[in-house]
Structure 1
Amino acid sequence: MDFSAVKALTFDVFGTVVDWRTSIAREVDAFARSHGLGLDGHAFADAWRSLYQPSMEEVRSGARPWTRLDDLHRESLLTLLDRFGVTGIPEEEIDRLNRAWHRLDPWPDVVEGLTRLKSKFVIATLSNGNVALMVNMAKRAGLPWDAILGAEVARAYKPQPRAYEAAAELLGLAPAQCMMVAAHNADLHAAAKSGLRTAFVARPTEHGPGQTRDLAVEPGIELAADSFTDLADKLGC
């Protein structure tokens, strides 16, 4: 398949670039130890993530005005602390735990792969994470983005078309000159509907050892890779 027209790669981040589940579990376990709580970090991480799409859907549906992901995450965290029976935590410590999403670790292949891909393409985030979250994550993890784009910039949460279209516009490119890279087939199908090219990178343990979805690329996605370094190989970087 000919990808010679592609000038930019736009990346989903949570799950594709960073291992959110392991990272959040680590932070929750540390939080639990410091407060003498019997929380299971992985169970808490899964519960927190389960509120991710429902919280954004309230914004996508127009039920509430634009709200950045940091604020949605904090609302979800308060819900979970109550559900898990955790009380009496100072506000500043709740804020620190909420910012665990700013401190997610990349998958092992990511920094090398992004560095190689950057030698040939513009590389940018196209995440539902807000700008401060993406910047802080990149600074900590050494992610060499050329631009931070996505939901907050577009004022639209994926999979709304505007999220994808705005990224191409801001890069001064046609959608077909951008390739969306993600570990989630649904994200890629939505990007394709907006005219972007598509590449699937498998992350079979994003949701833990029992993951059942997004284990393989689906029909209609143009390129599949096992890692960012494999993607770099396939795109000639």
Structure 2
Amino acid sequence: MTLALIFDVFGTCVDWRTSVARDVAAALPHVDAIQFAMDWRAEYDPAMKRIRDGGRGYVPLDDLHLENLHRVAARHGVTAPDSLNTAWERLDPWADVVPGLTHLRKTHIIAPCSNGSIALMTRLARYAQLPWDCILGADLARDYKPNPAVYLASCAALRLDPGEVMMVAAHNGDLFAARDAGLYTAFVPRPTEYGPDQATDLAPEADWTVVARDFTDLARQMA
């Protein structure tokens, strides 16, 4: 029986691409804001991989984002203010997210299981009005998805077995890792996360526990 749903956030719950680009355009008006946002996001996984692979101790995502910001700004030939890093705390939710989460919360515990820090996820939840019961994810495990420790630490924090928890994500890779850790899985596609030419995660790549059109459909299926 699924008692809790834990959610990927960047891409699954919020539109990071256009939201970050909006803040980039305001702070750095002479750069291609969409490309800058995409380049900034492209540094995300390599930065975490060094930590996942043991080449660096745990560093919260806020700090990795700031390091990546200055790296990308240098490539674009500009100097970015440190304050631009808070763009990741002001990401707009997809239209179905808040109503879907609100319905799901009536019958299930809901929480993020994100690579974002507790501080980042708390501020983002306040901005986007995400009605979480609590904040879970990388900070608890001091590790990054898709390492199993992140999923298992989130389950343990709720005092639930993995078989009582469902991971919800728009990314098949996240779900493969969660399933391997013993969780149920739900796929919700976000076909424009990376823009109109997105070529990945357009459809489920396995027989996930639930496949939903959006969070409203997920709430209906989980009722």
Please give the TM-score of this superposition, normalised by the length of structure 2. Answer: 0.98
Equivalent residue number for residue 43 of structure 2:
51
2:3 pairs with one of 4, 7, 28: 7
Query: Aligned residue pairs: how many?
Result: 223
Provide the rounded CA distance (Å) in 1 between the counterparts of 2:155 and 2:27. 40
The structural deviation recorded for 1:226 is 1.0
2:198 pairs with one of 182, 191, 211: 211
SS in 1 for 2:39: helix
Equivalent residue number for residue 74 of structure 1:
66
The structural deviation recorded for 1:180 is 0.2
Provide the rounded CA distance (Å) in 2 between the counterparts of 1:224 and 1:95. 39
Partner AA of 2:15 in structure 1 = D
Partner AA of 1:220 in structure 2 = D
Provide the rounded CA distance (Å) in 2 between the counterparts of 1:145 and 1:154. 19
Matched, 1:106 2:102: no
1:24-47, Cα deviation, whole Å (9 max, x unpaired): 1111111123xxxx2111100110
The structural deviation recorded for 1:184 is 0.2
After the TM superposition, list the runs of 4 or more consecutive aligned residues in structure 1 that deviate by more than 4 angstroms.
none
2:21 pairs with one of 21, 25, 30: 25
Matched, 1:86 2:107: no
Matches within 5 A, 1:1-237: 5-33=1-29, 38-87=30-79, 94-236=81-223
The percent identity for this pair of structures is 54
Partner AA of 2:94 in structure 1 = W
8 Å CA contact 1:6, 1:178 repeated in 2 = yes
1:180-207, Cα deviation, whole Å (9 max, x unpaired): 0000000001000000000000100000
The structural deviation recorded for 1:220 is 3.1
The structural deviation recorded for 1:60 is 0.8
Stretches of structure 2 that go unaligned for 5 or more consecutive residues are none
SS in 1 for 2:28: helix
Provide the rounded CA distance (Å) in 2 between the counterparts of 1:143 and 1:30. 25
1:125-166, Cα deviation, whole Å (9 max, x unpaired): 100000110000001111100010000111110000100011
8 Å CA contact 1:74, 1:98 repeated in 2 = yes
The structural deviation recorded for 1:18 is 0.3
SS in 1 for 2:93: coil
Partner AA of 2:90 in structure 1 = R
8 Å CA contact 1:189, 1:220 repeated in 2 = no
1:2-42, Cα deviation, whole Å (9 max, x unpaired): xxx00000000000000000101111111123xxxx21111
Partner AA of 2:60 in structure 1 = R
Provide the rounded CA distance (Å) in 2 between the counterparts of 1:75 and 1:219. 35
Provide the rounded CA distance (Å) in 1 between the counterparts of 2:97 and 2:134. 16
8 Å CA contact 1:182, 1:188 repeated in 2 = yes
SS in 2 for 1:179: strand
* CA RMSD between the two structures: 0.8
